[in-house]
Structure 1
Amino acid sequence: MRILFWLLVIVSILWGGYWFIGSSAVEREAKAALANASEDGYALQYSELKTIGFPSRFDTTISDVDFTAPSGLRWTAPFFQVFALSYKPYHLIAVWPNEQTISDFANTVELTSEDLRASLIVEPNTKLALDRLQLTGLGLEANINNSDNVTVQDLSVATRQGIAAQSHDIFVSLNDLHVSSPQLPRGQIAFDAATLDANVVFDQPLNRESERPEVLKIMLNNANVSQGDVRLGVSGELNFDAAGRANGSLTLKAENWRTAFDQLRSLGVLPEKNAEQLQGLLSALANSSGSETDITAPLAVKNGAVLFGFIPLGQIPPL
């Protein structure tokens, strides 16, 4: 029993030493990273950086954060927290405050949330390649320039390494999404749910050595929005050229397409000059498929332009 007692004492002392060395290293590396960011043109001010959590955690809190990027983008928050288990430092948990502000030269976004946090897992090696990432939020509200307002009751964003080299599977889910703005024809738009399931291929691995990774391909397994009995879904494959322009083909599926068409037209999403012609083509497509309410339509994407036959529907911005 005496031998066991002293073994426990020795292990406790060693572990305590490891924690204090580790926590000091966490603070030192965090401060060094912030200093390096300043040298790269980023401005960051904070009142305190502190790590606690003995004996099993490294819980780091940065207080009174004021961060400005060279582009002029600014983020301010009363605090920002990063948590990690002392025996699993490659798995980080980030927590944002309930109130924060994002702004640039022209816009100010006041963001509030009931809860907003992310889980980041990297490969435990020197390159720290991204393995998995998950962001979740509850009760999100963004007030833009005291004019526009966006609310999301439930948000989830997740990525994981894909099967193909240099690819990541991406999943996004939003529930109870509302957008209000005096610039919208009806003043507001709402969706019960919106989801995205895609695989994205990059031109390089996503790790600490990455420099401006570019998107080469997006395999869109499914992108859906729904409101009441209306559902719109898009799937297909997009390839991106050196200028970031999309090319490929998509398939649009719509349930209760006439209601969806009227709503999109009233919101100004569809080109008004081609609206009647587009409605006629969709009606003929629905009739030929044997359904008056549901349609499946092929879409072409050329240099970012989305086309239904010869009718332009919109533009995918360069990545």
Structure 2
Amino acid sequence: MPSRKRTKRNTSRRFLLFALFIVLAILVYTGGWFYAADTLERRTITAIEDINLGQQNVNCEEPTARGYPFRIGLFCRSVSFENAETGVSVNAGAFRSAAQVYQPMRTVGELDSPAKITAPHFPPVEANWDNMRLSARLTTRLPERVSSEATNVVLTLDDDTRQPIARADSIQTHTRQNGANVDFAFIAQKLSLDPALTSGATIPALDGEVLLSLDDGVALLANARNGLRGRSGNVQNLRLSVAGTEAGLSLQGPIRIAENGLIDAELRVTVNEPQTIARLAGDLFPAQRDQIAGITSGLANLGKAPTLPVNIRQGRVFVGFIPLGRVPPVR
């Protein structure tokens, strides 16, 4: 009998010690989580203050860390960005991010619409979307990767008319470090423009894709006060096509921006179904309709997807030896 009582007492003692260990572990974990949350909030405020020392102004209204117990992320009631030098500003709704506590450098997030966008020489625009998701792989300095995807995007004039000017089924952006360079991607599906933006011409819905690499882009992003002048890169693919068809054009080639802001580039342009593209381009740019027709008249004899050189010299655009126009200098 005494041995049974001792066994029961030992079992009860082990159970009590185990329960105390669990409680202690929960308390330690909770303290660690709230310490990390406080650190996240303070680092966010410090990072914003550092950015705002220059010509840019970034704001996260009421930054708060949430997600206990298994996640941790930053919540902002609203977010905004303003560049005093370029005059571009963006004000959007609430921002929410989350990461697993065991993998805090991989985070996902959501951004609420609407976003009000202003830029010089353009009327103010309001952007709305059904859902915008973001993801990032963070490092101690710059993010290694950042991606976003918004669905059912509608751009509307931010004035009394509230006129929709463009819409798209989805818009994606992707940025990643590639050694010292930075790769960018922009993808739009079924982008349609209001005829008011195309001089009354009705343009079918378009699919677009831009893939480019910026030389020494990591150094440029690390110091946002540096501009694009004196920079070079490579257009890996710039494709614009009529949604649901093969008609479209794509271009590739190196590009450089001189110190005076003028562009130099050696590009190769491939045109699928030249007659269709010539008709659409003529509707978009009626003043250049004859030039466009002259360029494309001989392309039909070269097949359904001919390729031709397009060179930009100090901002002047040439298709072969034929001048096509000028590209304004980059600021």
TM band (smaller chain) = 0.7 to 0.9
Identity %: 18
Structure 2 equivalent of residue 235 of structure 1? 252
The answer for unaligned runs of 5 or more in structure 1 is none
Measure, in 2, the Cα distance between the counterparts of 1:249 and 1:297: 11
Structure label with greater radius of gyration? 2
Q: Does 1:85 align with 2:100?
A: yes
Structure 1 equivalent of residue 3 of structure 2? none
- Give the alignment of 1:1-319 within 5 angstroms: 2=15, 4-35=18-49, 40=54, 48-65=62-79, 68-71=82-85, 72-103=87-118, 107-123=123-139, 125=140, 128-145=141-158, 146-147=162-163, 149-162=165-178, 165-202=179-216, 205=219, 208=222, 211-212=225-226, 214=228, 216-227=231-242, 228-268=245-285, 271-272=288-289, 274-280=291-297, 283=298, 285-287=299-301, 289=302, 291=303, 293-319=304-330
Structure 2 SS opposite 1:29:
helix
Structure 1 equivalent of residue 9 of structure 2? none
Note closer, same or farther for the CA distance 1:62–1:269 as it changes in structure 2 (3 Å cut): farther
Measure, in 2, the Cα distance between the counterparts of 1:261 and 1:134: 34
The answer for unaligned runs of 5 or more in structure 2 is 1-13
* TM-score (norm: length of structure 2): 0.79
Structure 2 SS opposite 1:88:
coil
How far is 1:218 from its partner?
A: 2.3
Amino acid in structure 2 at the alignment position of 1:24: D
Would you say the 8 A contact 2:278–2:293 is kept in 1?
A: no
Would you say the 8 A contact 1:252–1:298 is kept in 2?
A: yes
Deviations 1:206-237 (A, max 9, x none): 56555426373222222211113412111122
Higher helix share: 2
Note closer, same or farther for the CA distance 1:305–1:120 as it changes in structure 2 (3 Å cut): farther
Note closer, same or farther for the CA distance 1:4–1:206 as it changes in structure 2 (3 Å cut): farther
Structure 2 SS opposite 1:143:
strand
CA RMSD of aligned residues (A): 3.0
How far is 1:149 from its partner?
A: 0.9
Would you say the 8 A contact 2:238–2:251 is kept in 1?
A: yes
Would you say the 8 A contact 1:166–1:206 is kept in 2?
A: no
Higher strand share: 1
How far is 1:148 from its partner?
A: 5.4
Note closer, same or farther for the CA distance 1:205–1:56 as it changes in structure 2 (3 Å cut): farther
Deviations 1:124-176 (A, max 9, x none): x3xx13311111111111112434511110112112222xx421222222111
- Greater CA drift, 29-38 or 90-99: 29-38
Measure, in 1, the Cα distance between the counterparts of 2:106 and 2:157: 33
Would you say the 8 A contact 2:65–2:72 is kept in 1?
A: yes
Measure, in 2, the Cα distance between the counterparts of 1:120 and 1:131: 7
Structure 1 equivalent of residue 6 of structure 2? none
Deviations 1:251-295 (A, max 9, x none): 111121011101101111772463453244xx1x442x3x2x432
Measure, in 1, the Cα distance between the counterparts of 2:246 and 2:48: 50
Note closer, same or farther for the CA distance 1:178–1:239 as it changes in structure 2 (3 Å cut): same
Measure, in 1, the Cα distance between the counterparts of 2:308 and 2:97: 46
How far is 1:98 from its partner?
A: 2.9
Note closer, same or farther for the CA distance 1:206–1:302 as it changes in structure 2 (3 Å cut): closer
